[in-house]
C-alpha cells in the first residue's frame, strides 16, 4: 500500500523531465500517477552511468532533501520507490566498484590527492577555466555545480550519528564552518547562491536539474548514496576527504578565473572562502576524521579508499565531458543557458 501522500511540499522545485523509460515511470509515480515501477531486472539493464538511471536516483534521493513541489512528503518512505532506489544504487555501486582498486591503503590513496601540477599547468577543469575559460563556460560550470552547492554539506551530515569520538567531533567542527558558523549569511550554500546571482544565473534550488548531464548527477548521487547507507560510512568519509583535500587549490584557480572575466565580488568570495577554510579542513580531515575513524573501526579502511577512488572516478568523467564540449566551443549542458 502506498503511504498517505496528502501532505505535499509546495515550495520545492518542480519535477524534472524524464530521460528514458525508468525515469518516466518513477517521475510519473512521484507526480501521483500509478505506473508500474521498474523491476530489478529492468534496472540492471540500464547504463549504470547513464542519464535515465541517474535521474531516477537523483529524483528519489531528492525526496530526502527538500522534495518536489506538489509531491507527497510521505513518498520519501514509499516501499515501492525504496525498492527501485535500492536496485538502482546497487547497480551503480557495482559499476563503481568494478572501476576502483579494492585496496585498503588509506595513506597512499590520500597522498595521491595531494599531488598538484607545478605552476598551475594541469589539464583539469579548474586549470582550463583559469587559463582560457570564457564567461559562458564559468556560468555553465556554476549552473551544474549548483546541484550540490545549493545543498552544500547536507549529504555529509548523515554520517555524523554513525561516528563517535575524535571522528565525530572533527566532522561536526568542519560542518559547523560549512553552515556559516551560526550565521545564515555565511552558510556556504548561501554564498554559492550569491555567486550565481553575480553570474546572472537562476538561484532557485534545483533550477538546472534538467540541464545537468548524467556525469554531473552521478557526482551528487554518490554523496547521497554513501550518506544514506550506514554500511558505507567509511566510504562517505573517504569521499569527504577527497572533496576537502582537493578543494583549496581548485578554489584558488576558480577564484582567479572569475576575477579574469570580471565576475562580481560575491562570485569571487565563494571560492576565496574555500581556499582558506578547506586548507584548514584538509588537516582536520586527515588527522582527526580519518585517523579517528580508523582508530575506532580499522576494518573500514577499504571503504575509505573506495570513497576516495569513486570520487576521483566520477569527477574525472565529469571533467572529460566538460572539456570535450568546451574545447569544441559547444555547451556542456543538455540545454543551453538563457
Helices (H) and strands (E) in the chain, counts: 15, 2
Q: What SS3 state is found at 248?
A: helix
Report the distance separating Cα 191 and Cα 180, nearest Å. Answer: 9
Report the distance separating Cα 55 and Cα 71, nearest Å. Answer: 16
| Within-domain flag for 287 | yes
Domain co-membership, 23 together with 68: yes
pLDDT tens for each residue of 291-309:
999 999 999 999 999 999 9
Task: Give the domain-ending residue among 98, 133, 166.
Answer: 98
Domain boundaries, position 133 = 106-327
pLDDT tens for each residue of 255-294:
999 999 999 898 889 998 888 777 788 889 999 999 999 9
Query: Can you give the pLDDT at residue 7?
Result: 54
Per the prediction, the chain carries an average pLDDT of 93
**C-alpha dist (Å) from residue 279 to 58, 127, 150, 166, 243:** 30, 19, 21, 19, 11
Domain co-membership, 166 together with 20: no
Cα dihedral: 324, 326, 332, 337 (round 10):
-170
Query: Can you give the pLDDT at residue 117?
Result: 63
Query: Given pLDDT bands bounded at 50, 70 and 90, which one contains residue 6?
Result: very low
Domain co-membership, 112 together with 189: yes
Does position 9 have pLDDT exceeding 90, yes or no? Answer: no
Q: What percent of the chain has pLDDT over 90?
A: 86
Domain co-membership, 14 together with 114: no
Between 140 and 338, name the one with better pLDDT. Answer: 140
Does position 5 have pLDDT exceeding 80, yes or no? Answer: no
- Cell matching residue 91: 547497480
Query: Given pLDDT bands bounded at 50, 70 and 90, which one contains residue 1?
Result: very low
Task: Give the domain-ending residue among 98, 129, 159.
Answer: 98
Cβ-based neighbours of 254, under 8 Å, separated by 6 or more:
126, 129, 130, 271
- Cell matching residue 241: 576527504
Query: Can you give the pLDDT at residue 282?
Result: 87
113 within 8 A of 240, measured Cβ to Cβ: no
pLDDT tens for each residue of 215-251:
999 999 999 999 999 999 999 999 999 999 998 899 9
Does position 123 have pLDDT exceeding 90, yes or no? Answer: no
CA atoms within 13 A on the CB side of 107: 1
Task: Give the domain-ending residue among 98, 124, 139.
Answer: 98
Quote the number of domains for the chain.
Answer: 2
26-34: average pLDDT = 95
- Cell matching residue 289: 576524521
Domain co-membership, 28 together with 165: no
| Within-domain flag for 2 | no
pLDDT tens for each residue of 197-208:
999 999 999 999
Domain co-membership, 269 together with 163: yes
How far is C-alpha 179 from the chain's CA centre? 16
Whichever domain contains 282, its CATH number is 1.20.910.10
Query: Can you give the pLDDT at residue 8?
Result: 53
27 within 8 A of 20, measured Cβ to Cβ: no
Report the distance separating Cα 281 and Cα 177, nearest Å. Answer: 9
Report the distance separating Cα 216 and Cα 239, nearest Å. Answer: 16
| Within-domain flag for 322 | yes
Domain co-membership, 13 together with 151: no
Query: Can you give the pLDDT at residue 4?
Result: 47
How far is C-alpha 54 from the chain's CA centre? 12
Query: Can you give the pLDDT at residue 3?
Result: 47
pLDDT tens for each residue of 74-114:
999 999 999 999 999 999 999 999 999 999 999 999 999 98
Query: Can you give the pLDDT at residue 217?
Result: 98
Domain co-membership, 85 together with 127: no
Query: Given pLDDT bands bounded at 50, 70 and 90, which one contains residue 158?
Result: very high
Report the distance separating Cα 225 and Cα 239, nearest Å. Answer: 11
Amino acid at each position: 500500500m502506498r503511504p498517505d501522500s496528502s501532505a505535499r511540499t509546495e515550495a520545492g522545485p518542480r519535477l524534472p523531465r524524464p530521460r528514458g523509460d525508468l525515469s518516466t515511470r518513477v517521475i510519473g509515480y512521484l507526480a501521483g500517477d500509478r505506473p508500474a515501477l521498474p523491476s530489478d531486472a529492468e534496472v540492471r539493464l540500464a547504463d549504470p552511468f547513464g542519464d535515465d538511471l541517474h535521474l531516477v536516483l537523483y529524483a528519489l534521493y531528492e525526496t530526502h532533501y527538500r522534495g518536489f513541489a506538489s509531491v507527497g512528503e510521505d513518498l520519501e518512505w514509499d516501499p515501492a520507490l525504496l525498492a527501485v532506489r535500492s536496485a538502482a544504487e546497487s547497480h551503480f555501486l557495482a559499476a563503481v566498484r568494478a572501476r576502483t582498486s579494492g585496496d585498503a591503503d588509506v595513506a597512499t590513496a590520500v597522498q595521491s590527492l595531494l599531488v598538484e601540477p607545478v605552476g598551475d599547468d594541469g589539464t583539469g577543469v579548474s586549470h582550463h577555466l583559469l587559463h582560457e575559460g570564457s564567461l559562458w563556460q564559468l556560468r555553465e560550470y556554476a549552473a551544474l555545480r549548483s546541484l550540490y552547492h545549493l545543498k552544500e554539506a547536507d549529504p555529509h551530515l548523515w554520517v555524523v550519528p554513525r561516528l563517535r569520538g575524535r571522528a565525530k567531533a572533527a566532522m561536526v567542527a568542519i560542518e559547523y564552518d560549512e553552515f556559516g558558523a551560526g550565521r545564515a549569511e555565511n552558510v556556504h550554500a548561501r554564498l554559492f547562491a550569491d555567486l550565481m546571482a553575480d553570474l546572472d544565473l537562476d538561484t532557485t534550488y534545483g533550477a538546472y536539474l534538467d540541464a545537468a548531464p548524467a556525469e554531473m548527477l552521478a557526482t551528487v548521487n554518490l554523496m547521497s548514496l554513501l550518506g544514506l547507507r550506514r554500511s558505507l560510512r567509511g566510504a562517505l568519509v573517504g569521499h569527504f576527504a577527497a572533496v576537502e583535500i582537493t578543494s583549496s587549490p581548485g578554489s584558488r584557480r576558480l577564484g582567479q578565473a572569475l576575477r579574469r572575466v570580471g565576475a562580481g565580488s560575491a562570485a569571487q568570495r565563494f571560492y576565496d572562502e574555500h581556499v582558506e577554510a578547506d586548507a584548514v579542513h584538509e588537516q582536520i580531515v586527515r588527522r582527526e576524521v580519518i585517523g579517528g575513524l580508523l582508530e575506532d573501526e580499522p576494518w573500514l579502511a577499504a571503504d575509505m579508499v573506495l570513497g576516495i577512488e569513486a570520487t576521483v572516478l566520477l569527477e574525472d568523467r565529469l571533467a572529460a565531458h566538460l572539456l570535450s564540449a568546451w574545447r569544441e566551443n559547444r555547451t556542456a549542458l543538455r540545454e543551453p543557458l538563457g
